[in-house]
Amino acid sequence: MAVRVVISGASGGLGLALARYYLGQGAMVGVFARRADCLQDLFKQFPRQVFCYPLDVRDSTAVQAAAQSFIARAGVPDIVIANAGISVGTLTEYAEDIDVFQQVMDINMSGVLKTFQPFLIPMRETGQGLLVGIASVAGFRGLPGAGAYSASKAALIAYMESLRVELRGSGMRAVTICPGYIKTPMTAVNPYPMPFILSADEAARRIARVIASGKSFAVVPWQMGLVGRVLKLLPNWLYDFVFSRAPRKPRKLL
């Protein structure tokens, strides 16, 4: 039987690359995304394998309906990848950034919860399955000018750890993946060097290997894992000195 995979944030970037990877492996794939046109392109290429659901992961009612539809049409998924996310610069001194901050948290953190929730009980009943949260190395320490993004990814890392322990003994597993830089429209605006940057397709291949490996936590690429460990070990005075001078991601109202 073909593997069944659900992926959120599949209209572009890493999410679309993951969808294409699994479809290329013959999987049955449910894709959640806000941009319906991109989903239609996938459907035209893989009409018998892909199930398209245009939705916003902040809308729990829409996600619940999509989950029920996918299970009815394709069966209980083997893998659910909560990938939907946004990255935008924020600064606390601007009142208009309060709403932006909330939107980043709602999509990057609460959107993961809303993506997993309707699948968890059906997957638990089968005694198997993977819930994969796409976090970020940015969650290791607070990046100046990106407080919302760093906070959302730090929260997601902690949430995934809680979920991992909760699922122990159920046959299911929670997997946390922290990508470094990936070539997407989201990173194209970054005004600073991005070491070890990967194409979306290469990142998708590596992430799929991690998912299949049985690991519960991984940084992709592994070199960024070393960078992350160094950042976490830096004393506050040195971290503050270095990063207070670093370029910052541009602000943008959503």
Torsion angles phi and psi, residue 79, rounded to 5: -140, 130
Cβ neighbours of residue 20 under 8 Å, at least 6 residues apart? 42, 201, 204
* Rounded Cα–Cα distance for residues 30 and 205 (Å): 18
Cβ neighbours of residue 107 under 8 Å, at least 6 residues apart? 57, 58, 84, 85, 86, 152
Q: Which two tokens stand for residue 93?
A: 């001194």
The owner of tokens 């969650």 is 139
Cite the DSSP H helix spans in the chain: 13-24, 36-45, 60-74, 97-105, 111-126, 147-166, 185-188, 200-213, 222-233, 236-243
Q: Which two tokens stand for residue 85?
A: 């996310």
- Could you say which architecture CATH assigns to the domain 4-243? 3-Layer(aba) Sandwich (3.40)
Q: Which two tokens stand for residue 53?
A: 């659901």
Whether the CB-CB separation of 10 and 51 falls below 8 Å is answered with no
Torsion angles phi and psi, residue 175, rounded to 5: -125, 125
Ramachandran quadrant class, 29 (left: phi over 0; alpha: psi -120 to 50; beta: rest): beta
Whether the CB-CB separation of 211 and 130 falls below 8 Å is answered with yes
Q: Catalytic residue among 21, 53, 149, 159, which?
A: 149
C-alpha angle 82/86/90, rounded to 5°? 140
Whether the CB-CB separation of 30 and 51 falls below 8 Å is answered with yes
- The amino acid sitting at 223 is Q
Q: Tens-of-pLDDT digits for all 254 residues of the chain?
A: 789 999 999 988 999 999 999 999 999 999 999 988 778 888 888 889 999 999 999 999 999 999 999 999 999 999 999 999 999 999 999 999 999 999 999 999 999 999 999 999 999 999 999 999 999 999 999 999 999 999 999 999 999 999 999 999 999 999 999 998 888 877 767 777 778 889 999 999 999 999 999 999 999 999 988 988 999 999 999 999 988 887 777 787 77
Assess whether 239 carries a catalytic annotation: no
